[in-house]
Amino acid sequence: MEYPKILCAAIFVVMLSSAALSAPLMSTTELLIRLELAPSLANATTEMKNVYPFIASNTNLQDTMLLLGMVHTQICTKNMQLKDKLSVAYIKLSNFISPLYMAYSYEEIQGPQHNVLTQLLMATSFYLNSTASTLRHEILKNGFSVPGGQNLSEAQLDHYTRQYLQALVDNKLVTLVITDDVVKVYRNYAILYTLNDVIKQVYTCVTASQDAIDYQTFQKATQTSTQSNSPTEN
Ligand SMILES: *[C@@H]1O[C@H](CO)[C@@H](O)[C@H](O)[C@H]1NC(C)=O
Ligand SMILES: *[C@@H]1O[C@H](CO)[C@@H](O)[C@H](O)[C@H]1NC(C)=O
Ligand SMILES: *[C@@H]1O[C@H](CO)[C@@H](O)[C@H](O)[C@H]1NC(C)=O
């Protein structure tokens, strides 16, 4: 009898996946964000700083005050109706679809040294799109109407970025020659940085309902099953 442990883990994983499947899509959204979108966003942000050291070399640039793309300021509260929570989450995330794709498109044409960053931005864009689609599906499934986005144009984003950089330079907080490329690169960084904040706000909108599996349980269960399945157990 050497299989019970593995069997146990297998059953647990099966139970876990059925729990995840039968749980409302709200929690699927949360898992999607925590397991896919947030990690790839974090990696893309780190890689931005590797490829463009001028950002990491100055805290005013790195910990930016330029909240770019956060045009929707409503936040979710506990007592909000499901319809409103889903709407707020959807608007917040879908507003970033176009800006994030802008960032990807810029890097895509920068040559082979930017391949890693390009791949990370593409993955982040993909996961953002998937998360927004999941939310959209959930909204329609509940018979609600899908709210419209309100994103800023590329010209507007560039304009705000240039103003922010100019203010830093004028106040001698950074030494920088503000070229068009510097503006676009920093715009892209600010988009990633702001999206990270927006994701935190979205968690309050899509947090799992009581019957849904929570993230800690999910993570612990995955770790446990990975360990029990590891070859060292044999
Ligand atoms: C992010 O980077 C870590 C460490 O380099 C890596 O293990 C992980 O797979 C990456 N995740 C994504 C989503 O790119
Ligand atoms: C995400 O969606 C936008 C808008 O529909 C699209 O242009 C873009 O190609 C998508 N991103 C990826 C990685 O597929
Ligand atoms: C966002 O902006 C892009 C480019 O300006 C545009 O193609 C897209 O339709 C806009 N999306 C929304 C929801 O307004």
Question: Given CA atoms 221, 223, 224, 225 in this order, what sign does their dihedral have?
Answer: positive
Q: Using the structure block, give the residue that is written with the tokens 């060292």.
A: 232
- Please identify which residue in the block is written with the tokens 């935190």: 200
Q: Helix, strand, coil % (nearest 5) of the chain?
A: 75, 0, 25
Start-to-end Cα distance in the chain: 12
Taking a C-beta distance cutoff of 8 angstroms, is the pair 218, 9 a contact?
Answer: no
**Along the 234 residues of the chain, how does pLDDT read in single tens digits?**
444 444 334 434 444 444 444 444 446 888 889 999 999 999 999 999 999 999 999 999 999 989 887 777 788 888 888 889 999 999 999 999 999 999 999 999 998 889 999 999 999 999 999 999 999 998 998 899 999 877 789 999 999 999 999 999 999 999 999 999 999 999 999 999 999 999 999 988 887 543 345 555 555 655 555 444 444 433
Give nearest CA residue, ligand 3 atom 5: 153
Beta-carbon contacts of 80 under 8 Å, excluding residues fewer than 6 positions away, are: 88, 205
Question: Does the beta carbon of 203 sit less than 6 angstroms from any atom of ligand 2?
Answer: no
Residue 134 and residue 29 in contact, taking contact as beta carbons nearer than 8 Å: yes
* Rounded alpha-carbon distances, angstroms, from residue 177 to 10, 72, 118, 187: 58, 31, 25, 15
Task: Quote the ligand 2 centre to 207 CA distance (angstroms).
Answer: 25
Compute the distance between CA of residue 192 and CA of residue 113 in angstroms, rounded to an integer.
20
User: Which amino acid is present at 80?
Assistant: M
Q: Which atom of ligand 3 is nearest to the CA of 153?
A: 5
* Ligand 2 center from residue 230 Cα (angstroms): 38
Is residue 119 in contact with ligand 1, taking CB distance under 6 Å? no
Q: Say if CB 5 and CB 213 are below 8 A apart.
A: no
Dist CA 70 CA 92 (whole Å)? 7
Distance 204 CA to ligand 2 centre (A): 25
What distance in angstroms lies between residue 36's CA and the mean position of ligand 1's atoms?
10
User: Please, are residues 63 and 185 in contact by the beta-carbon 8 Å criterion?
Assistant: no
Amino acid at site 116: V
| Calculated CA dihedral for residues 184, 188, 193, 196, nearest 10 degrees | 160
